[in-house]
Structure 1
Amino acid sequence: MKDRNMCFQYNYLPTVVVFGASGFLGRYVVALLAKNNFLIKACVRSPSRARHLLVNGKLGQVSLLRCNISDAESVNSVTDKADVVINLVGILTEYRNQTFKNIHLDGAINIAKACKKYNIKSLVHVSALSVDRSLESNYAKSKFTAEKCIKTIFKNVTIVRPSVIYGAEDDFTNKFAKMALISPFIPIINQGLTKFQPVNVLDVAKAIEKIVLNKKLEGNIYCLGGPEIFSFREIIDLIMKNIGKDKIYINLSFFNAKILAFITSIFPNAPITLDQLKLLKVNNIVPPKSRGFKHLGINPTSLQIGSKRYLSRYKTSY
């Protein structure tokens, strides 16, 4: 035990830089890597809001570093002397200077260039499922363009494309559970026909852990989806069942949803954006013959089991 503590003190252990470490997925990735005795540079926008990450490791094992990935110098300053770099940064909506181009494209390019400059052994880049099939969407276009760009800059890059990620802190299942507590209606778009393959956040973190630990898994694209395919309406049905609510669904056509998105676009936390509507026109499921959990030796958790564990907190006694 004494020798291991000395390793943390003198930085003899391999170092992983995690961009977006304080995000929904990031906290799980940091926890798993800390258990594997990596030194972790947790790169975040606000270190004061990421102190919860420190408890995942021994004293000095996890360090919090302020970083803006759209600034190349900021990225370079935290990447030097690392062994592995993981990019988890992503946004679903644009706000002020947080644009898809700045975050998904420019940020990813800065990270890839830093990896090349400092001879990093491996880069793991988290993208999203179906970005190569949803090119009407600026979100998807920025993600897919970033994938292509970083592969030309840095050769040893592994791309992870998860479907919609769920978990105790998500902004997906929790959003509709909270909505059900205050509204008699739940809106669904295009009859809720769009298909998804929801994936548990811990399973995605485990996939990244496997890639970091095994060099033979590097250099591929992994499409990650849960064991079941659901329509959007079926997902809402499952959420309502888990929280013990019976709600009326209000169907919105794409046209009516577009009007709603346009009207609410002036608000920072709009329920849906015009760009997100474009994503709903394409199914978010794992393509056949693609690499996925099976190739990583992981059995993904079903949405029914995984979400029931935390959605029960929304149940009321009346």
Structure 2
Amino acid sequence: MMTSARIVIVLGGTGFLGQRVARRLQEHGCQVSTGTRSPKAAAAQSGFASNGIRLVKTDLADPDGLAQALSGFGAVVNCIGCYAESRGQSFQDIHVEGAQRIARIVRRNNGQRLIHISGIGASLHSPSAYVRSRAEGEAAVRSICPGAIVLRPGVMFSRSGAFFGDLQKIVDRLPVIPLFGTGRTRLQPVWAGDVAEAVCRLLDAPHARRKVFELGGPDILTYRGILQRLTARCGRRRLLLPVPFALWRMAAAVLWVMRNPPLTQAQVALMRQDNTAGEAMAGFADLGITPHSAIAMGLL
């Protein structure tokens, strides 16, 4: 298969990161398609604008259909992920078996390139099923498709309000704000637009020397520090209340039955450990990108 790497399909392309990756690739002059289980529903989705990006039906549970959908593309960007399991969809299904399936198809399509999105903190030894599945998926992809690139972004924010905007709503409404533990977990928030740009730079580089990139922004802040900045912005006094992680896990277990739970076990697990890029890991600097600061952008 000898198709230009600039003919790209973004799997999970209707999601938070996937939409931004697809648009940025299009701006870079790529011919872009978005993979989704339900193209009709995606086309009608509020806030989703295809802007000439073709919608392609892709279903991880349909190997033959997936293989057919991925044929003809020079590159595949896998942005598929989930924070909450359902009765019909587990972390193992999505992050491990689904990633394996995609990698096998890419390997068969000789010359096709693969960029796999994971996350900072992925570990095979984590007590969290979510975190372990991310690491298992990475290992599977690199074993099946050694040329694949793995991107591990930190917690992502956007100008439209993702992450900081969501926290600001909590700060505006609650006089007492619960902390994850003591709130000392360190985060390195990264602008989703910079992650999308990293994907573009890697597709433009035919032979990237490094295969795993950890992408964090220039600001390293504690969760408590972020909330303190947001309370200062709204000009109100707020009590920051430490809450043990055991209580957070219990709350997530209760909320699991909701269709779109506001809190998941995966999110609690991620807040138990620092979410920062490793100093020895490849990152934005290796791609010639200066990441945007949330503080400098006026979002924090």
Verify same fold: TM over 0.5. Answer: yes
Check conservation: 1:227, 1:302, Cα contact below 8 A.
Answer: yes
Which residue of structure 2 lines up, in the alignment, with residue 40 of structure 1? 32
| Residue 92 to residue 275, structure 1, CA distance change in 2 (3 Å) | closer
The question of 1:95 aligning with 2:91 is answered no
Which residue of structure 1 lines up, in the alignment, with residue 220 of structure 2? 229
User: Which of 3, 13, 29 is residue 21 of structure 1 equivalent to?
Assistant: 13
User: Which of 220, 223, 226 is residue 211 of structure 2 equivalent to?
Assistant: 220
SS in structure 1 opposite 2:297? helix
1:33-182 mapped onto 2 (5 Å cutoff): 33-51=25-43, 52-55=48-51, 57=52, 62-132=53-123, 135-169=126-160, 171-182=162-173
| Residue 34 to residue 281, structure 1, CA distance change in 2 (3 Å) | same
SS in structure 1 opposite 2:193? helix
User: Which of 199, 205, 225 is residue 190 of structure 2 equivalent to?
Assistant: 199
Which residue of structure 2 lines up, in the alignment, with residue 210 of structure 1? 201
- Offset of 1:218 from its aligned partner? 6.0
- Offset of 1:177 from its aligned partner? 1.9
Q: Which amino acid in 2 is paired with 1:146?
A: G
CA distance in 2, matches of 1:120, 1:306: 39
1:203-226 residue CA offsets vs partner (Å, 9 max, x unmatched): 111111100111132651000001
- Offset of 1:50 from its aligned partner? 3.5
The question of 1:262 aligning with 2:253 is answered yes
Q: Which amino acid in 1 is paired with 2:207?
A: K
| Residue 200 to residue 245, structure 1, CA distance change in 2 (3 Å) | farther
1:9-32 residue CA offsets vs partner (Å, 9 max, x unmatched): xx9894111101111111111111
Identity of matched residues, %: 27
The question of 1:253 aligning with 2:244 is answered yes
Which residue of structure 2 lines up, in the alignment, with residue 3 of structure 1? none
Which residue of structure 2 lines up, in the alignment, with residue 305 of structure 1? 296
* More helix by percentage: 1
Check conservation: 1:137, 1:276, Cα contact below 8 A.
Answer: no
User: Which of 256, 273, 281 is residue 282 of structure 1 equivalent to?
Assistant: 273
Check conservation: 2:14, 2:36, Cα contact below 8 A.
Answer: yes
CA distance in 2, matches of 1:94, 1:75: 22
May I ask how many residue pairs the two structures share in their alignment?
Answer: 294
- Offset of 1:155 from its aligned partner? 2.1
Bigger mean CA offset, 99-108 vs 70-79: 70-79
SS in structure 1 opposite 2:16? coil
| Residue 133 to residue 102, structure 1, CA distance change in 2 (3 Å) | closer
Q: Which amino acid in 2 is paired with 1:227?
A: P
Check conservation: 1:24, 1:170, Cα contact below 8 A.
Answer: no
1:121-174 residue CA offsets vs partner (Å, 9 max, x unmatched): 310000000112761111111110011111111121000001101113465223
| Residue 48 to residue 305, structure 1, CA distance change in 2 (3 Å) | farther
| Residue 238 to residue 71, structure 1, CA distance change in 2 (3 Å) | farther
CA distance in 1, matches of 2:195, 2:23: 13
CA RMSD of aligned residues (A): 2.3
Q: Which amino acid in 2 is paired with 1:147?
A: E
CA distance in 1, matches of 2:200, 2:122: 23
- Offset of 1:104 from its aligned partner? 0.8
SS in structure 2 opposite 1:271? coil
User: Which of 31, 55, 66 is residue 23 of structure 2 equivalent to?
Assistant: 31
CA distance in 1, matches of 2:236, 2:11: 38
Q: Which amino acid in 2 is paired with 1:16?
A: V
SS in structure 2 opposite 1:222? strand
